[in-house]
Amino acid sequence: MPKPPEAIEQFKQKYPDVSKAFAQLAAECHKSGPLDEKSRRLVKLALAVGAGLEGATHSAVRHALELGVSQEELVHVAVLGITTLGWPSAMRALTWIGDSKPRD
């Protein structure tokens, strides 16, 4: 499973209270509605892809993989983006999703 970037680990060490508050906010957001965890992880990926955020996409992929979401399901999110975001954005997303592909 891909690990978080070193910069995130360094931030957590330097600013533990901010990191803890952010994690608490994330937990509250996740439990605030009716979506199951898998759906939430796929939505988070789609939001990151749609916003063009590489780091957030990598994070969303890591969390989804930890949950057991398949590589095919992650790729499907990018493919669905072709008609909404455009070909270049979808190809960018496929590249970012592939960056976090589990290694043998």
Give helix then strand counts, H and E, for the chain. 7, 0
Could you tell me how many residues make up the chain?
A: 104
What the block records as the tokens of 88 is 């270049």
Residue 41, Cβ density class (10 Å: 0-12 exposed, 13-18 middle, ≥19 buried): buried
Q: Which one, of 90, 63, 55, 86, lies nearest residue 76 by Cα?
A: 90
Q: Could you give the CA distance from residue 54 to residue 14 in angstroms, rounded to a whole number?
A: 23
Assess whether pLDDT exceeds 90 at residue 4.
no
pTM above 0.85, yes or no: yes
Q: What is the pLDDT of residues 78-87, one digit of tens each?
A: 999 999 999 9
Q: What is the pLDDT of residues 8-58, one digit of tens each?
A: 999 999 999 999 999 999 999 999 999 999 999 999 999 999 999 999 999
Q: What CATH superfamily is the domain 6-99?
A: AhpD-like (1.20.1290.10)
Per-domain residue ranges of the chain: 6-99
